[in-house]
Structure formats: C-alpha cells, structure tokens
Chain A
Amino acid sequence: MLDILQSFGQFGLGFFERLGRATLLLFNMVLGLHELLPRPRLVVKELYSVGVLSLLIIVVSGLFVGMVLALQGYNTLVDFGAEQSLGVVVALSLVRELGPVVTALLFAGRAGSALTAEIGLMKATEQLSAMEMMAVDPIRRVLGPRFTAGVISMPLLAAIFSAVGVIGGYFVGVGLLGVDQGSFWSQMQSKVDLYDDIFNGVIKSLVFGVVATWIAVFEGYDAVPTSEGVSRATTRTVVHTALAVLALDFVLTALMFGEH
C-alpha cells in the first residue's frame, strides 16, 4: 500500500521537477535571446533546417487535407443543397483548427524530433560540456537559435498549410465537383473574419510553435546522455508535443471562439 503511494509521490515529484527545469530553461533561453541580434546568421541556419526542410511535408499534407475536406464537406452539404458553402467549410476548418494543429503535429515529427536528437547527441558526445569549458553558454549558443527558429517558422508553416489547403479545396470543389467558382470565394470572404478567424489562427500557431520547440529543445537538453536516452527523448518529444498541442488547442479554442 505504502509502496503504491510512494510511487505516486515519486511520479508527481519527478513531473514537477522536470516542469521546473523546463521552465528555468525557457527563462534562460528567452533572457539570452537578445544576444542573437548581432548574430542573425545562427538563426538563419536553423530556420533552414527547421523551416525550409519542413516545407515539403507541410505543402503536400496541406494540399491533401484541403482536398479531403472539400470532398467530405461536399458530400454532407449537397444533401442540404448548401454546396455553395463549401468554401466557408474548407476555409474555416483550415484556418481555425486544422492549419495550426496539423502543422504543429507534423512539425513535432519532422523538426522537433530532429532538434531533440541533435541536441541530445551533442550532449552525449560532450560537445555541450566542451562549450561550457570554453565559457560559451550552450543554452544561448545552441538552444536559443533553435528555439527562435522554431517559433518563427511555425506560424509561417501554418499559414502556408492553410493557404495551400484552401487552394486544394478549390481544385476539388470547383474543378472536380462543380461548385460555382464565384460563390466558393464570395461565401468564403463574407463568412471568414480577418480578426476572429485568421488572426486567432496565427496566435494559435504561434503558441503551438513555442510549446513544440520548447519541448523539443528541453527533451534534448535533458536527455540521458546515452544512445538509448537520446532515442527515448526523441520519442518523448513527439508524444508530449502531440498531447500538449491537442490539450492547448482545446483551451485556446474555448478562449477564442467560446463566447458568442
């Protein structure tokens, strides 16, 4: 009986300990961000590996998600004779929900895991310790640029995802299913609000970007410096990011779109 209690306590303490360390790391990173201003090259290099290399998967999935949305939405809407609203359905679900969320999940799989593995291996091969020996703070030199790059690229990737998705929905809806082109766009424009929908979607993707990159960077920095530890940390990054993003999405949606 006591053993069970103890394991609960251990679990709770371990959880809060990690949370505390992660928060301290975040503070340290944010405090060191100003040092990146004279060296934008560091961020640009990370933007390439985090953002540019994620473009392909984001564009392809955005296109297919938009196309599937159009197909499914059409099947439902046509029963009510409301297939003109297809543009609204596609655009709203992409801009509000699917854009930020699916991008964050793909981002965790494509860029987050790579970040964790990279930083974890740096730790395992004692590159981080070597930096500390040279009085270079690895949090500011290694983690900071990666964090910044992740936070910058997530909203951009989510915007690209949504835009490509709308175009994919347009191809299927107008090209394949024969929805009127004019009402596709005009209904979309009259129902989608710049502030309520698009701006809130950008805020969502920004929050997801912070969370996803934070988790990835922390798991790498906190990894047990063995090959097994790094592989576990990489798995944890993907799982934790997915859970955090989905839970946060509910909270953000309730905050943004709840009161109407």
Chain B
Amino acid sequence: MWQSRVVEIWVGLFVAAGLAALFMLAMQVSNLSVMSTEGGYTVDSHFDNVSGLKVRAPVTIAGVRIGRVTDIGFDSKTFQAVVTMRISDRYNKIPTDSVAGVYTSGLLGEKYIGIKPGIDDTNLKNGDRVKGGQSALVLEDLIGKFLFNKAAEGPGK
C-alpha cells in the first residue's frame, strides 16, 4: 500500500511538472503573454505599398511599441493597402493629424509601422483613420530612381 502511494505521488509530480513545463512554454516563451494583455482601440491607415509588412508587426511612436498590426487588406477602389492596427489603451492621446509610415528596422530587419505625432488637439479614437505617409521601400523602385537621377544628371559626370 505504502509502495503504491509513493508511486502515485511520483506520477502526480511527473504530470504536474509536464503541465508546468507546457504552461511555462506557453506563457514565457511564446507570444501569448504579449497578445493577451492587448486591449485597446483600432485605427486604420491607407498605404500605396506595404510589401513585407506582416500581421502582428509592431506599431511604434518614437521607437516605443504602442500596438500591433491586426489586419492587412486591400481597397479595390483606391488600389491601396488598408492596414488595421490595434493600439493599446494606455496610448490614447495621439493627435488625429498624425502620419503613419512603413519603416524597416535595421538593414535586414522587419517592417513595422511608425507613427509621427501631429499637433492637433483632438485625439485618435476607435475606428479613426490615420493618414498614410511613407510607403514600404521597394528596392527595385529605389534603384530605378537612382538610375533615373544619374541619367538626368547627364553624361560625363
């Protein structure tokens, strides 16, 4: 009887340790903790090009993450990309005339949305639209522009 009690206690410990490990993986390692704390309000923004931007990319002001991209859609009337983002409630004092842009962190880093704050007295609220500014940088366009400028400077330079 004593023997089987010891065995059962060990098995109980084993199962508890396994579940605790799963819980630790879920909470500490994965993005569950980041996602679950996010309430907040959603705003959207139109861009000419968002290539490389992914859902759940960070939304930042002055480099501080204030929310995440929740959806990337396409407006078939204006042929623009519609980026929906959720901004956490703590940051509810963002002027309505702020401008959003698609930026790259580092040379090879991920795309993220950066918001440049405006000066308006009214603040953004749920469902508002942020003006879309800087689009994603497309390397081919950039090279094209460079070559065009180079050619416009004329020969012999």
| Interface hit among B11-19, B45-53, B71-79, B146-154 | B11-19
| Interface hit among B28-36, B92-100, B136-144 | B28-36
Interface contact A190-B7, CB-CB below 8 Å: no
Query: Which one of A44, A52, A191, A198 contacts B26 once the chains associate, using CB atoms below 8 Å?
Result: A198
Query: Which one of A41, A159, A189 contacts B18 once the chains associate, using CB atoms below 8 Å?
Result: A159
Tell me the minimal C-beta distance from B33 to chain A in angstroms. Answer: 6
Tell me, in angstroms, the Cα distance from A58 to B95 when the chains sit together: 54
Interface contact A193-B14, CB-CB below 8 Å: no
What residues on A are CB-neighbors of B7 within 8 Å? 44-45, 48
Tell me the minimal C-beta distance from B142 to chain A in angstroms. Answer: 23
Tell me, in angstroms, the Cα distance from A47 to B15 when the chains sit together: 9
In chain A between 192 and 245, which residues have their CB closer than 8 angstroms to a CB of chain B? 192-194, 197-198, 202
Tell me, in angstroms, the Cα distance from A55 to B12 when the chains sit together: 13
Tell me, in angstroms, the Cα distance from A47 to B30 when the chains sit together: 28
Return the chain A residue nearest B20 by Cβ: A163
With A192-B30, A194-B31 already in contact, the answer to whether A47 and B14 are too (CB < 8 A) is yes
With A44-B7, A198-B26, A198-B29 already in contact, the answer to whether A155 and B34 are too (CB < 8 A) is no
In chain A between 85 and 113, which residues have their CB closer than 8 angstroms to a CB of chain B? 91, 95
Tell me, in angstroms, the Cα distance from A155 to B25 when the chains sit together: 13
In chain A between 148 and 168, which residues have their CB closer than 8 angstroms to a CB of chain B? 152-153, 155-157, 159-160, 162-164, 166
Tell me, in angstroms, the Cα distance from A132 to B30 when the chains sit together: 50
Interface contact B25-A163, CB-CB below 8 Å: yes
Query: Which one of B8, B20, B21 contacts A162 once the chains associate, using CB atoms below 8 Å?
Result: B21
Q: Does B91 contact A (CB under 8 A)?
A: no
Interface of B is mostly: helix
Interface contact B14-A189, CB-CB below 8 Å: no
Interface contact B30-A159, CB-CB below 8 Å: no
What residues on B are CB-neighbors of A190 within 8 Å? 31, 34
Interface contact A189-B29, CB-CB below 8 Å: yes
What residues on A are CB-neighbors of B13 within 8 Å? 52
Tell me, in angstroms, the Cα distance from A159 to B27 when the chains sit together: 13
Interface contact B14-A198, CB-CB below 8 Å: no
In chain B between 30 and 89, which residues have their CB closer than 8 angstroms to a CB of chain A? 30-35
Q: Does B4 contact A (CB under 8 A)?
A: yes
Interface contact A189-B21, CB-CB below 8 Å: no
Interface contact B25-A55, CB-CB below 8 Å: no
Tell me the minimal C-beta distance from A163 to chain B in angstroms. Answer: 4
Interface contact B15-A156, CB-CB below 8 Å: yes
Tell me the minimal C-beta distance from B13 to chain A in angstroms. Answer: 8
Tell me, in angstroms, the Cα distance from A156 to B18 when the chains sit together: 4
Tell me, in angstroms, the Cα distance from A245 to B21 when the chains sit together: 22
Interface contact A159-B21, CB-CB below 8 Å: yes
With A41-B4, A189-B29, A190-B34 already in contact, the answer to whether A47 and B11 are too (CB < 8 A) is yes
Tell me, in angstroms, the Cα distance from A159 to B28 when the chains sit together: 13
With A44-B7, A44-B8 already in contact, the answer to whether A156 and B29 are too (CB < 8 A) is no
Partner-B contacts on A (CB < 8 A): 41, 44-45, 47-48, 51-52, 55, 91, 95, 152-153, 155-157, 159-160, 162-164, 166, 185, 188-194, 197-198, 202
What 10 A-B pairs are tightest by C-beta distance, nearest first? Answer: A156-B18, A163-B21, A159-B21, A194-B30, A159-B22, A160-B21, A48-B7, A52-B14, A47-B11, A192-B30
A-B contact list, 17 entries, CB within 8 Å: A47-B11, A47-B14, A48-B10, A51-B15, A52-B13, A156-B17, A156-B18, A157-B18, A159-B22, A159-B25, A163-B24, A190-B34, A191-B31, A192-B29, A192-B31, A194-B30, A194-B31
